[in-house]
Amino acid sequence: MRTPPIDPAFFAANRNRLAALLEPRSLAVLHGNDRMPTSGDGVHPFRQQSDLFYLCGIDQEETVLLLFPQAREAGDREILFVRPADERLALWEGAPLAFEEARRRSGVATVRSVLEFEAAFRRLALEAERIYLNANEHPRAASEVETRDARFARRCLGRFPLHRYERLAPLLRRLRAVKSPIEIELIRQAAEITGAAFRRLLGFIRPGVWEFEIEAEIVHEFLRRRSRGPAFEPIVASGENACVLHYVHNDRCCRAGELVLLDFGAEYAHYAGDLSRTVPVSGRFSPRQRQVYEAVLRVQKAAIALMRPGTPWAAYHEEVRRLVEEELVGLGVISRAELRDQPAERPLYKTWFPHGISHGLGLDVHDAVDPEDPFQAGMVLTCEPGLYLREETIGVRIENDIWITPEGPVDLTAGIPREVEEIEALMAAGPGA
Q: What is the CA radius of gyration of the chain?
A: 24
Amino acid at 157: L
Q: Among residues 246, 249, 288, 390, which one is catalytic?
A: 246
138 is catalytic: no
Beta bridge partners, 131, equal 27, 165
Q: Among residues 31, 77, 112, 359, which one is catalytic?
A: 359
Cα separation, 15 vs 132, whole angstroms:
14
246 is catalytic: yes
Cα separation, 186 vs 7, whole angstroms:
12
Q: Among residues 78, 149, 192, 384, which one is catalytic?
A: 384
211 is catalytic: no
Q: Among residues 15, 112, 366, 418, which one is catalytic?
A: 366
Q: Among residues 61, 76, 327, 399, which one is catalytic?
A: 399
Pick the closest to residue 58 from 21, 132, 16, 5 (CA basis): 5
Classify burial at 172, counting beta carbons within 10 Å of its beta carbon; exposed 0-12, middle 13-18, buried 19 or more.
buried
Pick the closest to residue 18 from 174, 165, 236 (CA basis): 174
Pick the closest to residue 329 from 340, 318, 343, 316 (CA basis): 340
217 is catalytic: no
274 is catalytic: yes
Cα separation, 80 vs 143, whole angstroms:
27
263 is catalytic: yes
SS3 (DSSP) at 370? coil
Residues making up the chain, counted from first to last: 433
388 is catalytic: yes
366 is catalytic: yes
Q: Among residues 105, 397, 418, 424, which one is catalytic?
A: 397
DSSP string, 203-218: TT--TT-BHHHHHHHH
Scored b (16 or more CB within 10 A) or e, 66-87 reads: bbbbbbeeeebbbbbbbbeeee
Helix 420-429 and helix 287-305: axis angle, to 10°? Answer: 120
Q: Among residues 274, 325, 327, 401, which one is catalytic?
A: 274
Q: Among residues 148, 258, 388, 424, which one is catalytic?
A: 388
Cα separation, 102 vs 385, whole angstroms:
42
Tally the C-alpha atoms within 13 A of residue 160's C-alpha that lie toward its C-beta: 21
Amino acid at 252: R
Q: Among residues 211, 263, 364, 367, which one is catalytic?
A: 263
44 is catalytic: no
H or E element in which residue 151 lies: helix 148-159
Q: Active-site positions? A: 41, 246, 263, 274, 355, 359, 366, 384, 388, 397, 399
